[in-house]
Amino acid sequence: MERSAFFNSINGDRRYKAEVFAEYFSSFIGNGVFPDPSTNLQVIANDDMTITLSPGKAWINGYFYMNTNDLILIIDPADGVLSRVDRVVLRFDVEKRDIKAIVKKGDYNSSPEAPPLIQRDADIYELGLADIKVNQGAISITQEDIIDLRLDKSLCGIVHGLIDQ
């Protein structure tokens, strides 16, 4: 099937869905966070059981995400015996028609690992922003507990154009 776009509509004969625009943009804009400024969507500890997602922009499969203010995310209480690793992700959800920052709670374990990016398909696609170590008995998250994932191409990466930059 041949397709072309984008042409002015005459009497309503040219209507384009968001998916057409997303497909177009995804052909030359890669997934990830925008690199400028370097604090774009950085996860910051608040020295309590919350973290702050800094303002910034990202791109997932042709769709745009923007956080314009500091966004406070709550970390669930720690266990008294075992630690866990939570993962902060941007989740693109086709059914919900949005991209949201969420905290994916890890499993308690003596050797905890971050939860995987559950899906990367046409319905849900996640970018990992940071891993949060929630130590046993912790009452606060410090910056040392946060591993920045934004530069990891397999989990997030930096937005790039047609020519990998």
Beta strand ranges found along 2-55 (DSSP E): 32-33, 43-45, 50-53
Residue 163 predicted with pLDDT over 60: no
Query: What percent of the chain clears pLDDT 90, i.e. is strictly above it?
Result: 73
The average pLDDT across 149-153 equals 96
Could you give the CA distance from residue 35 to residue 162 in angstroms, rounded to a whole number?
16
Could you give the CA distance from residue 48 to residue 140 in angstroms, rounded to a whole number?
4
pLDDT in tens, 15-45: 888 888 888 888 888 899 998 899 999 999 9
Contact between residue 15 and residue 39 where contact means Cβ atoms under 8 Å apart: no
Stated pTM of the model:
0.89
Residue 68 predicted with pLDDT over 70: yes
> pLDDT band at 3, cuts 50/70/90?
confident
Could you give the CA distance from residue 39 to residue 100 in angstroms, rounded to a whole number?
18
The average pLDDT across 102-110 equals 95
pLDDT in tens, 42-61: 999 999 999 999 999 999 99
pLDDT for the residue 162: 59
